[in-house]
Amino acid sequence: MMVTKAIWGAALLAISAMGGSAIAQDAPQTLAGEATEAGLTGAERRAYILERLTVEEKLGQLHQMPGGRSKNLNSRLNDAELDRVRSGLVGSYLHVAGAEPLENLQRVAVEESRTGIPLLFAMDVVHGYKTIFPVPLALASSFDPALVEATARAAGSEASAAGLHWTFAPMVDIARDARWGRIVEGAGEEPYLGAVMAAAQVRGYQGDDLSAGDTILATAKHLGAYGAGQGGRDYDTAEISERALREIYLPPFKAAADAGTATYMVAFNDIAGVPTTANKRLLTGILRDLWGFDGMVVSDWNSVMELMNHGVAGTPADAGALALAAGVDMEMTSGIYVGEMVDRVKSDPELMKALDLSVTRILLTKDRLGLFDDPYAYHDTEREAEVILSEAHRVLAREAARKSMVLLKNDGALPVTEDVKRIAVIGALADDASSPLGSWRAQGQAENVSTILEGLEAALPEGARLDYVAGADTKDMPARSELRRAVNAAKKADLVLLVIGEDYDLSGEARSRSDIGLPAPQAALAEVVLETDTPVAVLLMNGRPLDISMLSEEADAILETWMLGVETGPAVADIVFGKASPGGKLPASFPRRTGQSPYYMGHHPTGRPADPDVTKDTARYMDIDITPLYPFGHGLSYVVFSYGDAAMDRDSMGEGETLTLSVDVTNDGTMAADEVVQLYTRDPLADVARPQAELRGFVRVTLAPGETKSVSFTLTPEQFAYWGPDGEWQVDAGAINYMIGSSSADIRTSGSFMIEEGVSADGPAAAIETKVSVEGASEETLPRSIGRIERFSRRADALIAPNATIERLTPDLFGWSEGPVWMEERREVLFTDVPGNTMYGWSEEGGLRTALEPSGYAGPPTDIFREPGANGLIADGPDAILMGDHGNRAVARLDLNTMEKTFLATEYDGKKFSSPNDLVRASDGALYFTDPPYGLAGIEDSPAKEMPWNGVYRLAPDGSVTLIDDELTKPNGVGLSPDGKTLYVAVSDPDAAKLYAYDVQGDGSATNRRVFHDAMPFIERGEQGLPDGMAIDAVGNVYLAGPGGIHLLSPEGDLLALIRTGTLAANVTLAEGGRTLFITSGAFLARVHLDGKE
């Protein structure tokens, strides 16, 4: 926590001393307070305030001040600055943070100014606040919008906990020239991918409710064509056509509007000579009048003042008038509005009208955050301590980093195999903790980063050796002695992991490069290492596509790691050592040479399309190939995927209709892996030249070995609109070609369909998101992956491999599957269908079989039972099992050779058990079991129920039964710690869903009942299921069937992960030495290879 005294001065310390969130009783009445006291809310309250503001106070709302510097937050907030707040001359601060200090500052605005209008606190939270996720270009490589949304949600949660209301993100500028440094901040070259990622980030930051206190305002920036600067130079002119603006650069901004972004930021540069900060046609005509945006527009840093540099304003007041009239509501830092515009506005009715509109939008934005009702909602210091850099966020960061890497080349060097005993890690970037944070790192700190070297060392297989040599950094040419050390290390190794690229300072704002090759020191290091005979796998760290032709020719593998954030090391190790397969794809093409820039997929064919034959006069360079080094969408895997032929549900579509393309994709490898299935289209005949290919859909799918999934893309005619020669959107009747594949250059199936006459459109095609659906394999091709594994702690990765998937082993066949038990010598899992009164067996070789029918009650028909079958099962040697026998109201033993059943216990104290459910054996041979009434018709109200309680019992080896606990409402699953000293009992009561722990005494009794895991929060948020059966591994981790899936709990009770099968989970068993988990999940049986291996 920041020390307020050093920053705020005596006046603010007095405010802080009030404590709490209530407004001080002696605080002066404010305009906002008056409106609230009068019972006004919403638009009426905002109008009340607006009518009573002075011109100076109105302009103050439009003024955003830096409260500090990016590396020295809050440093400018002195007493003089507080007086500006009291005078109503500030509407927002950036470069500030901290729940407590910002509450103190907010109190000055709310309680000591005449207006009482809350301040907005802002920061560039671009890819994380404190938990830094991969840079946006890397996140786009995941082709996983749900993941990107989750990272933005986590970033928004942390930023809001630090007192912030507003982030200047996402940056959604399309960038096709890798020389531009800020390509690192966006989603690359394709408008459709940019639009999907823009919408995902807006949803993540803003959530479902902006007033929730843990969401923040998103900013789609930099509106216009900032990424189209000439020559890849930052801030430079975008000399582009209206068609390019509408079709390429604006779609992500339109998608952000459709997703509900609260704010926009204008670009620094000009479009065809018109600076965006003064572009009324763009900021008002398109953004507000055409798209219907009613939120707030903010300038970029000092960009209003810079209108004078553009040469369109002669004085600061002229610059302010141009920006305000164009639609710039809030001015960042330059202070022209508040300092130069008072007289200008008073003398110009049109400017006064524009001013009132801007104030209205700013008040609306603050109201949407709920600040007029609770200005201190963002200032909870306990939440700040709990949320920021939390374990759950670091787990998400590792997943995001893992999914963002792209395997560019692989001749077998990756993953590292068991025969590699000595690895040389070469390159200073391997041990660089700062560069993985990338640009715009908010409050990320190097001390919280796990480096590539640290990750590799921690994951190094037993018996292997790792040698590290720095070799060279990115700035200084290495000494010959250092190069010799690198070469010697390489020669002694079985494999070199060469970590090279850019450091954090080479990509970002004002970091345009004329040469996008490797920095000279890095190239020198690569050259000498690649001259050795040792296989070399290159791990690239960079923030843009690079010219790496030499690496592509000489290296045995190239893994693009980008800049991956705080969990860089563990994520890279996951991929390098094969715990997970790379699945990312390139969001931007890699040119073969810098001179090929800008290179992008969507070029027009021209009258002389590029031809590989250099002797022909076509649109190409004569000294390099016509293709990129690595094309858009490229990315290899450790497995091979095969595609079927595409199918269409119809061959044409007209106005109001849809057309669906479907394709089957199969994992032909031996490990689970992700494939990004990509849909491209081309309009071959139109009124204007059209791109050779445009991305129109994609989906990332996880496939188990041998698994097939069917991917469907549903299109509408409007997705083929273009900006016509008459300056309007048009959709032509005629053929559309489609291509589906693994990249833009790896097309596996193609065809065409027709657009019918009479289709109209009113917006950019790339802003319309294609509906995508994924269906699992048919019953004939089971197993298939289902659900997902949600991780809350990095400790989960040691128990469940990152590439582990949930496999569905059977169709929906059972009324309520239970058990299960693994019979090691038989290599079979046995489980029961309790209402179906049947026990089944499943094995890899034999599949599903009926093992025993009936499994429980076998007498004449009766209406006593709700569930007549057996329930929980445990092994009793290789040839017998023990069971909780619902139907026979007994604990029983079943001989698996003779199928003869023996009842071990049927009553206690002269009364029949209700329906023994689950059981566990202690080391002394005693059994602990639960006896809820679930097997009886009527359950608690069953006339057959003889016990006055629902008990937990101990069955001693001599056959005597002891009551352990008669106070639990619905005891269900039961388990023992590895040392036998702790008994666990799950209670499946929707009003008291908990897992209890007891201390087991020397006589077998159990005392000191306590809550080990409370599942009620899951129930309260609508998760389906109740605490049920469990399995406990050799070190005491508990796998508990519960609400939402299988709860993985540490021996201390921490929730490490949730295995979500997508339906109710009943019970689990560990198998194959703890490497496999079988799950009885409602109507089917499932399995997880915890080690990620088959």
Taking CA atoms, 372 is separated from 96, 121, 375, 437, in Å, by: 21, 15, 6, 36
Cα–Cα distance for residue pair 701/488, rounded to 1 Å: 43
The amino acid at residue 923 is S
From 324, 552, 294, 518, select the one nearest 427 (Cα to Cα): 518
CA angle 407, 629, 554 (to 5 degrees): 70
Cα–Cα distance for residue pair 535/494, rounded to 1 Å: 7
Dihedral angle of Cα 579, 583, 588, 590, to the nearest 10 degrees: 60
Pairing mode, strands 465-469 and 422-426: parallel
Quote the crossing angle between the two packed helices 391-404 and 568-576, to the nearest 10°.
50
Q: Does residue 941 sit in helix, strand or coil?
A: helix
Cα–Cα distance for residue pair 133/140, rounded to 1 Å: 12
Cα–Cα distance for residue pair 785/797, rounded to 1 Å: 19
Report yes or no: 724 and 687 within 8 Å, Cβ to Cβ. yes
Cα–Cα distance for residue pair 993/1028, rounded to 1 Å: 10
Cα–Cα distance for residue pair 397/455, rounded to 1 Å: 14
Cα Rg, the chain, nearest whole Å: 32
Cα–Cα distance for residue pair 738/694, rounded to 1 Å: 10
Residue 300 designated active-site? yes
Task: Out of 124, 173, 300, 833, pick the active-site residue.
Answer: 300
Looking up tokens 């969001």 gives 587
DSSP class of residue 287? Answer: I
Sign of the CA dihedral running 313, 316, 322, 327: positive
Cα–Cα distance for residue pair 444/81, rounded to 1 Å: 27
DSSP class of residue 201? Answer: H
Dihedral angle of Cα 45, 51, 53, 54, to the nearest 10 degrees: 180
Q: How many other β-carbons are positioned within 10 Å of the β-carbon of residue 51?
A: 9
Report yes or no: 971 and 933 within 8 Å, Cβ to Cβ. no
Read off φ and ψ for residue 814, nearest 5 degrees: -115, 150
Cα–Cα distance for residue pair 711/253, rounded to 1 Å: 28
Dmax of the chain from CA atoms? 102
Cα–Cα distance for residue pair 77/80, rounded to 1 Å: 8
Strands (E), 707-862: 708-715, 722-723, 729-730, 734-741, 747-755, 771-775, 784-786, 788-791, 806-808, 817-823, 828-833, 838-843, 847-852
Cα–Cα distance for residue pair 138/143, rounded to 1 Å: 10
CA angle 55, 58, 60 (to 5 degrees): 110
Q: How many other β-carbons are positioned within 10 Å of the β-carbon of residue 1024?
A: 14
Pairing mode, strands 1084-1089 and 1076-1081: antiparallel
Report yes or no: 647 and 675 within 8 Å, Cβ to Cβ. no
Cα–Cα distance for residue pair 199/392, rounded to 1 Å: 23
Q: Show Cβ contacts of residue 617 under 8 Å, excluding neighbours closer than 6 positions.
A: 608
Give catalytic residue positions: 300
